[in-house]
Structure 1
Amino acid sequence: MIDEDGYFGESVAARYDESSAEMFAPSMVEPAVELLAELAGDGRAFELGIGTGRIALPLSRRGVEVHGVDLSRAMVARLRDKPGGAAIRVTMGDFATTKVAGSFSVAYLVFNTIMNLTSQDAQVACFENAAEHLAPGGCFVVELMVPDLRRLPPGQTAVPFHVGGDRLGFDLYDVATQSMSSHHVRVEDGHGSYRSIPFRYVWPAELDLMARLAGMRLRNRWEDWTRRPFTGESRSHVSVWEKPAG
């Protein structure tokens, strides 16, 4: 059952930072903030799916004005409870279509969030929305996994991403439709819980085409925020598309 905040309601928001602790490590956050601050320059930043503020808060502390969009009131409430969170403007809504006032030097989506849009049309709309909010010469940045299909032998649809004594996680792929779902099983104090979240996986080349449809062009693609080269062995990418200055 989906709660009123989608798949990121109170039960998820309450433990989101803890369950994603590795993503809050300085080694993960600081390179991302460095790149985004560089792209923002003297302008503003627009975060699509701002969540609990993992990136927005340190970026704001760098002196960049951040405006976020998110569908989950529970996640945004956690952002508001953190030091500096009350100063960040957040508009509630679907980040594929929600409009805010003004223009931005950089718009960004991190931690695979574009896959929360479960149709190609919605992902295309997201690129169009980002482009509409960018000033000429501005950039749209997406951090995303590379679909892990090389780990699927014939007849198999599941790929585990975490196997531990108290937690199991695996992704189910449908290669015919590019749909996938992440499944999480957790055992605490002898009690089990289960939740699943649907996604749509998307390839780098498909994202490039979405960017072209939105009037942007690829500027850079790296393996990660430290700007290591993207190769055929990379399991993730950070891509930057630019809106023409003219």
Structure 2
Amino acid sequence: MDLTALDDLSQDELWDARAAAAYDTPGTGMFAAEVLGPTVDRLAELADDGAALEFAIGTGRVAIPLAERGVPVTGIESSAAMIERLRDKVDERALPVVQGDMATTRVEGEFSLAFLVFNTIANLLTQEEQVECFRNAAAHLRPGGRFVIELWVPDLRGTSRAAPAQVFTVADGYVGLDAVDMVNQRVVSHHFRFDRDPADRRRATLGRTPHRYIWPAELDLMARLAGMELESRHADWSGGEFTAESGSHVSVYRLVDA
């Protein structure tokens, strides 16, 4: 199965105006209070009275409530449409954002915290870009500063040569499946959304997003290459124990003092 067809699309093309308009789901999903609350609580604690830098800030799901907690936040975001959506909520003075690639774009200032949430480091489709993302985070941090990554744990137990795709979600009006390329650690997520009109439930739209999945141990090595070391790893933002059965993790890396 050829999973490289989407590689030529920029993040700005993938996260266009249509995707940005549909991204926010106030009160539900990743915007639910029980999801967002512990995330902001933990990041505010890790900021340690310093400033924070969010890579792939999107529409401000995490950054806006974090800034409202008194943490100065700056963002990097590649998608102009996502930035425009964020600007509908908060202005540049309250939450400055630089448009650019999270692996290479630099912003002014020194930060006690950099963070990258909701699996977004996997949007970088090569190992080299992911390593550069760690190095970019390290370049922005003060000595002892932290880089936090939230990421899913690949589960390839249901994938085989005979069945190179696996379903990851079935819900009302939605089916999601991943097509997996184990040689290149690539996944293309296929999002089938069905018309909610009872008269036409047979109609569906398809969206696709490419990712490069990363094992936790590989992340740890990327951190070491950037001069950071693992400080903690939990299964969630509330500090749940990370085990072999955990489907995701929140990993905190500390910049080693020179």
Amino acid at match of 1:222: H
User: SS of 2:157's equivalent?
Assistant: helix
CA distance, structure 2, for counterparts of residue 195 and residue 163 of structure 1: 15
CA distance, structure 2, for counterparts of residue 3 and residue 138 of structure 1: 30
Q: Percent identity?
A: 50
CA distance, structure 1, for counterparts of residue 171 and residue 137 of structure 2: 38
Give the alignment of 1:140-151 within 5 angstroms: 140-151=147-158
Residue in structure 2 matching 1:129, options 136, 149, 152 = 136
CA distance, structure 2, for counterparts of residue 15 and residue 232 of structure 1: 34
Q: Which residue of 1 aligns with 2:62?
A: 55
User: SS of 1:15's equivalent?
Assistant: helix
User: SS of 1:176's equivalent?
Assistant: coil
Instruction: Indicate yes or no: 2:12 matched with 1:12.
Output: no
Q: Which residue of 1 aligns with 2:38?
A: 31
| Change in CA separation of 1:140 and 1:4 when aligned onto 2, cut-off 3 Å | closer
1:31, CA displacement in angstroms?
Answer: 1.0
Amino acid at match of 1:228: G
Q: Which residue of 2 aligns with 1:166?
A: 173
Q: Which residue of 1 aligns with 2:240?
A: 228
Amino acid at match of 2:237: W
Q: Is the 8 A contact 1:6 1:71 kept in 2?
A: no
| Change in CA separation of 1:130 and 1:3 when aligned onto 2, cut-off 3 Å | closer
CA distance, structure 2, for counterparts of residue 186 and residue 20 of structure 1: 20
Q: Is the 8 A contact 2:27 2:33 kept in 1?
A: no
Q: Which residue of 2 aligns with 1:239?
A: 251
Q: Which residue of 1 aligns with 2:123?
A: 116
CA distance, structure 1, for counterparts of residue 26 and residue 50 of structure 2: 33
Q: Aligned residues, how many?
A: 246
CA distance, structure 2, for counterparts of residue 86 and residue 184 of structure 1: 36
TM-score (norm 1): 0.94
Please give the per-residue CA displacement for 1:33-82, whole angstroms capped at 9, x wherever unaligned: 11111111221000000001110011000000000000111111111112
CA distance, structure 1, for counterparts of residue 54 and residue 108 of structure 2: 14
1:85, CA displacement in angstroms?
Answer: 7.1
Residue in structure 1 matching 2:230, options 218, 223, 227 = 218
Gaps of 5+ in 1: none
1:4, CA displacement in angstroms?
Answer: 7.6
Give the alignment of 1:176-195 within 5 angstroms: 176-188=183-195, 189=197, 190=200, 191-195=203-207
Q: Is the 8 A contact 2:11 2:78 kept in 1?
A: no
Residue in structure 2 matching 1:21, options 25, 28, 40 = 28
1:21, CA displacement in angstroms?
Answer: 3.3
CA distance, structure 1, for counterparts of residue 27 and residue 78 of structure 2: 19
Amino acid at match of 2:46: L
Q: Is the 8 A contact 1:47 1:56 kept in 2?
A: yes
CA distance, structure 2, for counterparts of residue 49 and residue 74 of structure 1: 12
1:86, CA displacement in angstroms?
Answer: 6.0
CA distance, structure 2, for counterparts of residue 43 and residue 5 of structure 1: 30
Is the deviation greater in 197-206 or in 9-18? Answer: 9-18
Q: Which residue of 1 aligns with 2:86?
A: 79
Q: Which segments of structure 1 move beyond 6 Å, counting only runs of 4 or more?
A: none
Q: Which residue of 1 aligns with 2:3?
A: none
Residue in structure 1 matching 2:209, options 191, 197, 210 = 197
1:22, CA displacement in angstroms?
Answer: 0.8
| Change in CA separation of 1:235 and 1:138 when aligned onto 2, cut-off 3 Å | same
1:187, CA displacement in angstroms?
Answer: 2.4
CA distance, structure 1, for counterparts of residue 249 and residue 11 of structure 2: 31
User: SS of 2:125's equivalent?
Assistant: coil
